[in-house]
Amino acid sequence: MTGIAAPGAGGVPSAGVQPAVAGPDGADQIDLPALEISGVWKSFGALQVLRGIDLTVAEHEVVCLIGSSGCGKSTLLRCINLLEPIDGGRIAVKGEEITAPGVNVNLIRRRIGIVFQSFNLFPHMSVLHNVTLAPRKAAGKSRVRAEAEATELLDRFGLADKRNEFPDRLSGGQQQRVAIVRALAMAPDLLLLDEITSALDPELVAEVLNVIRELARGGMTMVIATHEMGFARDIANRVCFLDGGSILEQGPPAEIFSHPREARTQQFLERIIEAGRL
CATH, range 35-274: 3.40.50.300
Boundaries of every domain in the chain: 35-274
Q: What is the mean pLDDT of residues 229-254?
A: 95
Q: Which of 87-96, 197-206, 265-274 has the lowest mean pLDDT?
A: 197-206
pLDDT band at 277 (very low <50, low <70, confident <90, very high): low
Contacts for 45 with CB less than 8 Å, ≥ 6 apart: none
Phi, psi values for residue 15, rounded to 5°? -60, 130
Beta carbons within 8 Å of 247's beta carbon, 6+ residues apart: 53, 54, 55, 240, 241
The whole-number average pLDDT for the span 207-224 is 93
Q: What is the pTM of this model?
A: 0.86
pLDDT band at residue 276 using 50, 70 and 90 as cut-offs: low
